[in-house]
């Protein structure tokens, strides 16, 4: 799922350095994707005023569980992306993916789909007929300068379930608990689904050079002693080589652990585009509206809308945002 807000707002984020022992608490922002009765509400924890990135993870939407019979499910017409990778992970449901790289695949629970936009791609997303409930996360990874114009690409992986003290893990990106993912990224990253049983505590080694974020899908968890409730995200800056999690509740906690080396470049992120300047985003929008070949064509999509139109740009100039205040 992508950022299909009818009137996307530019978020001028700033990153304040925190001691590595301090956990930053991010509450979700409710965002309506689409318009009217077809709008789908998601809980967005990245980006925010308080935080732009966790490593190169720059966007985190959390949605569901939504009863498709009541909501109509997801039907997102072809739309563009640039200079990023989308990472799709479902807890429930099924989504049909088509893109201008010629890929036709399904997003299923416990399987990661990573799409690389590079210089430009377009894709559609539609819930399948057999989907009863839709529940998952949509994540974006910003591509660094040297890879921002890379070729389109698509990777799929079904990670094994790995036992951890008091629970299980599925490693979708990177390395954790002795397991590795074959998914290729342009910066050092970690992404995993964790299940912690009631009362379980797990202290484990992490890369001290990574920032880490923990998004709570079900239940609540203590991250280095700080309580992170359902739908919120806890974030810790780089500097420590271990992380301690504890489930203080009487039910299983399901979590998404994100990590990565600090991303120091400045980016302009608006609608579904990532650029390096206001002028570049203006050019990208104009190219999409004009049907430029850099985005290609999506074949096989049969929805009522042939393609999404880009919304108007805001009146103010779009400013790059950085990990640190400048």
CA angle at 203 for the pair 223 and 259, rounded to the nearest 5°: 60
In a domain, 110, yes or no: yes
Which among 76, 74, 133 is positioned nearest to 109, based on CA atoms? 133
Per-residue pLDDT, 4 = 53
7-11, 278-282, 293-297: which has the minimum mean pLDDT? 7-11
Note the pLDDT tens digit of each residue in 183-233.
999 999 999 999 999 999 999 999 999 999 999 999 999 999 999 999 999
Which among 43, 49, 46 is positioned nearest to 31, based on CA atoms? 43
Helix segments in the chain, DSSP class H: 68-71, 278-289
Per-residue pLDDT, 157 = 98
Domain count, the chain: 1
Mean pLDDT of 172-186: 97
Per-residue burial over 280-291, b = 16 or more CB atoms within 10 Å of its CB, e = otherwise: bbbebbebbeee
In a domain, 30, yes or no: yes
CATH of residue 133's domain is 2.60.120.10
Mean pLDDT of 124-137: 98
Cα–Cα distance for residue pair 82/207, rounded to 1 Å: 29
Mean pLDDT, the chain, integer: 93
In a domain, 304, yes or no: no
In a domain, 320, yes or no: no
Cα–Cα distance for residue pair 37/86, rounded to 1 Å: 26
In a domain, 57, yes or no: yes
> Which residues touch 259 (CB under 8 Å, ≥6 apart)?
54, 55, 174, 189, 190, 191, 206, 207, 210, 211, 212, 213
In a domain, 239, yes or no: yes
6-20, 104-118, 156-170: which has the minimum mean pLDDT? 6-20
Per-residue pLDDT, 163 = 98
Is residue 153 within 8 Å of 143, Cβ to Cβ?
no
Please provide the DSSP assignment of 133-170 as one string. EEEEEEEEEEPPGGGTTPPPEEEEE-PPEEEETTEEEE
Per-residue pLDDT, 33 = 85
Which among 8, 55, 60 is positioned nearest to 34, based on CA atoms? 8
Backbone angles phi, psi at 207, to 5 degrees: -70, 120
Neighbours of 325 (CB within 10 A): 10
Segments forming the whole domain that contains residue 57: 23-260
Per-residue pLDDT, 275 = 98
In a domain, 293, yes or no: no
Note the pLDDT tens digit of each residue in 29-84.
999 987 766 678 999 999 988 899 999 999 999 999 999 999 889 999 999 999 99
Tokens of 294: 């850099």
Note the pLDDT tens digit of each residue in 82-122.
999 999 999 999 999 999 999 999 999 999 999 999 999 99
Per-residue pLDDT, 326 = 59
Cα–Cα distance for residue pair 3/270, rounded to 1 Å: 9
Mean pLDDT of 276-285: 98
In a domain, 139, yes or no: yes
Cα–Cα distance for residue pair 113/60, rounded to 1 Å: 15
Per-residue pLDDT, 21 = 74
Q: Which pLDDT band holds residue 260 (cuts at 50, 70, 90)?
A: very high
């Amino acid at each position: 799922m992508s950022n299909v807000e009818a009137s996307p707002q530019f978020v001028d984020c700033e990153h304040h350095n925190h001691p590595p022992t301090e956990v930053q608490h991010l509450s979700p922002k409710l965002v309506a994707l689409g318009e009217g009765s077809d709008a789908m509400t998601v809980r967005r924890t990245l980006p925010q005023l308080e935080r732009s990135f966790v490593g190169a993870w720059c966007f985190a939407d959390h949605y569901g569980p939504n009863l498709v019979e009541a909501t109509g499910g997801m039907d997102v017409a072809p739309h563009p992306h640039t200079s990023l990778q989308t990472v799709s992970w479902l807890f429930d449901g099924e989504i049909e993916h088509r893109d201008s790289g010629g890929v036709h695949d399904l997003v299923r629970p416990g399987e990661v789909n990573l799409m690389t936009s590079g210089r430009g791609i377009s894709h559609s997303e539609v819930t399948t007929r057999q989907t009863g409930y839709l529940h998952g996360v949509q994540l974006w990874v910003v591509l660094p300068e040297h890879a921002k114009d890379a070729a389109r690409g698509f990777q799929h992986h079904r990670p094994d379930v790995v036992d951890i003290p008091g629970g299980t893990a599925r490693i979708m990106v990177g390395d954790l608990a002795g397991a590795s993912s074959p998914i290729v990224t342009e910066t050092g990253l970690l992404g995993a689904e964790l299940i912690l049983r009631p009362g379980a505590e797990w202290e484990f080694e992490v890369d001290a050079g990574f920032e880490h974020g923990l998004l709570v899908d079900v239940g609540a968890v203590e991250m280095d002693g700080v309580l992170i409730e359902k739908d919120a995200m806890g974030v810790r800056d780089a500097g420590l080589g271990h992380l301690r999690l504890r489930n203080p509740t009487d039910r299983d906690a399901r979590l998404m652990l994100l990590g990565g080396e600090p991303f120091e470049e400045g980016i302009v992120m608006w609608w579904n585009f990532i650029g390096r300047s206001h002028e570049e985003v203006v050019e990208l929008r104009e190219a999409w509206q004009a049907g430029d070949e850099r985005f290609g064509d999506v074949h096989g999509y049969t929805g009522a809308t042939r393609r999404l139109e880009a919304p108007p740009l805001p009146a103010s100039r779009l400013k790059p945002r950085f990990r640190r205040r400048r």
